[in-house]
Amino acid sequence: MSKQLFIIDPLESLNRRLDSSLRMALAYYQMSDSVYVTTQTVLHWSRGNPASAITQRLSFGDDAASVTTHESQEVSLDDFEHIHMRKDPPFDMKYLATTWILDSARKARVINAPKALRDLNEKLAIYEFPEFTRPALLASDPNTIVQFIREECSGDAIVKPLDLFGGRGVERIQITDEESVQKRITALTEHGKELRLFQPFDPGVFKGEIRVFTACGEPIEWCLKKPAAHNFLANTRAGATLHGYKPTQAEIETDRAVAEALLQRGV
């Protein structure tokens, strides 16, 4: 029996029916591991010692939604076999500081590696795999962005912030009136001061977005996330539904190539 620590958002803020961290915790619990949770606000680090956390032990009923918390206790990070960094973005200074604290763990394995969390931006990781991805522009200059949307996106683009998740801040921009588009992009980039990622819009998302979970460089499970009617956001918070999915051999090979490369980076 080993001890597992999950760093998550507060339990009361989670969708307990769908939350993947709780499902992972349940799987460990069913293997008779001791499972604990904490939040980044109660991590602390004193000189000469690994960091500690105020934790709560979890127990479960039949499913992940039937989670119960037990007494709070302070535990050294090195008392755990694995530490699962599952705190959702925004990727801000609090998030960055948490990765520095996790670096203090010497015996516990942190998943994903703190260095990988710092170095690999979730959105910009596509630049490491150009053979598998559509054209992309990271920019803040409105004129450069409008030109890219016109020439590389056929006037139809998706824009993403770099520090959020779950479809937050994601917009579709179509050039119908160039003046109004210029004004919209100027606002999105805060007058050319904030970077945004732009890519051609893929209408295939209306049929569903493929999501694959990997571990140790191998695909584990697949699903199809279908957006709600008249919506392009394939996120459950935006009304998307989850469906089973059988991948093609080409998709399996693509996933394996990406996952193996990321594994070398600590993902």
Q: Which residue, chain included where needed, has tokens 């000189």?
A: 47
Write down the pLDDT at residue 235.
86
Mean pLDDT (whole number) for 33-61: 95
Q: What is the DSSP letter of 227?
A: P
Query: Nearest Cα to 6, choosing from 66, 57, 47?
Result: 57
Residue 160: pLDDT band by 50, 70, 90 thresholds? very high
Mean confidence (pLDDT) of the chain: 94
For residues 175 and 157, give the distance between their C-alpha atoms in angstroms, rounded to a whole number.
Answer: 9
With H, G, I as helix, E, B as strand and everything else as coil, classify residue 164. Answer: coil
- CA–CA separation, 231 vs 243, rounded Å? 17
Q: Is the pLDDT of residue 77 over 80?
A: yes
Asked whether 6 and 37 are in contact (CB, 8 A), the reply is: yes
Q: Hey, what are 20's tokens?
A: 């993947």
- SS3 (DSSP) at 89: coil
Given a cut of 90, whether residue 22 has pLDDT beyond it is yes
The stretch 7-16 carries a mean pLDDT of: 93
Q: What is the tens place of the pLDDT at every residue in 182-214?
A: 899 999 899 999 999 999 999 999 999 999 999
**Angle at CA 26, nearest 5°, toward 168 and 71?**
95
Q: Is the pLDDT of residue 163 over 90?
A: no
Which tokens sit at 10?
């507060």
Q: How far is CA 78 from CA 84, 131, 261, in A?
A: 13, 40, 28
pTM of the complete model beyond 0.95: no
Residue 56 · residue 37 · CB < 8 Å: yes
- Rounded to an integer, the average pLDDT of 214-240 is 92
Whole-angstrom distance, CA of residue 119 vs CA of residue 145: 25
Dig out the tokens for 122 from the structure: 């979730």
